[in-house]
Structure 1
């Protein structure tokens, strides 16, 4: 169901899946072009969660997806405020969980969450470095020379304002959430995880894609983990 949420900066769209009762999972997609590559995959996960009786919400964050806010005006503060608004509104009637993908982990520290599930989490600094590598194909640039007086940074088709650029560059450590949390990775990823699944990292593809079998497996893992936290 198409819905919306209000936050201090305005109104943004979100899509609801699954039942109106029971816990709800707020999906935090990767940032920038990885967002576009994985949105269909995330929708498939949400639909699979609904089939398992678990509700989920897929929001557009300010400056991402179909948001009317220009990307160059997006900041970590605005993203976190938007997530907090959704979480607080939902927490009035049920427990809230966060499921973050990749650099969505930069945003999953909300205190309203009863738990956090992560897929292949990376830091903001790593996400920024990936964009810089993609941009560097067209010629090397001295990224360290950038400062607050510069115009928005153009990285792989994204106009990133200095406040967001600086915040991502400073986000060098993957902080563990205070709430119960679970880390999931693909079996091609050597980093430590609670469980690993076989599958293709869709965020690395040149075009958006989907992997229904992996989506169903991840949805089952999310549902089982949420239920274990509820028991």
Structure 2
């Protein structure tokens, strides 16, 4: 688990976007957490089973494993713990009770599955843009609710017409061909999160 910032005070448990979107948006996520660390807010990014540097093959991952991993990661962090999740990652956070939740362009389970099916390689039923995903995981995601706690903030980017508490300018990094730093967007996201935690 990558950790940034002080070892006391509020801590962000940050969940990267899922599957191929993780590689494209991780640079932004880390940049955002570095800016929050400069403000005295700690951050931690766990590797979910079958994602990131996890040794488990992606095809063996299940949503229940992700939820257990998020819950285990939360117990290792100084409190209060605030959840930050990109895109479909919020679906893995139903087993924790954070001080608050902050979502960037969140997806319901059905929306996440639609995104995956859009990327599926023709003729390869379980290959989704290089990620071998079991049918059981697709079924898990399809029926997964998006957590909606008492203190939940939703932020979307300016081109996204869906409802949100705030819309910020910037291009979605998960749509980019290569990872992008997007320093202005990282600044804006960090500022929004810091204000949300302080409020």
Alignment of 1:1-231 (within 5 A): 14-90=1-77, 93-135=78-120, 138=122, 153-171=126-144, 174-176=146-148, 178-228=149-199
Deviation at 1:59, TM superposition (A): 1.2
1:90-126 deviation per Cα after TM superposition (whole angstroms, max 9, x unaligned): 2xx4211100100012123333311100000012222
Q: Secondary structure at the match of 2:76?
A: helix
**Contact 1:108/1:116, CA 8 A, preserved across alignment:** no
In 2: Cα distance, 1:110 partner to 1:215 partner = 28
Are the counterparts in 1 of residues 32 and 186 from structure 2 also a CA contact under 8 Å?
yes
TM-score by length of 2: 0.94
- CA deviation map 1:30-65 (0-9, x unaligned): 110000111111110010101111100011111100
In structure 2, runs of 5+ residues without a counterpart are none
Q: 2:187 is paired with a residue of what secondary structure?
A: helix
- Normalising by structure 1, report the TM-score: 0.81
**Does the CA-based 8 Å contact 2:74-2:96 persist in structure 1?**
no
The alpha-carbon deviation at position 175 of structure 1 amounts to 4.1
Runs of at least 5 residues in structure 1 that lack an aligned partner in the other structure: 1-13, 144-152
| Matched-pair contact (CA < 8 Å) for 1:183–1:194 | yes
**2-side partners of 1:125 and 1:206: how far apart?**
24
- RMSD over aligned Cα, in angstroms? 1.6
Runs of 4+ in 1 over 2 A off after TM superposition: 108-112
Hey, what's the Cα distance between the residues in 1 that align with 2:176 and 2:24? Answer: 7
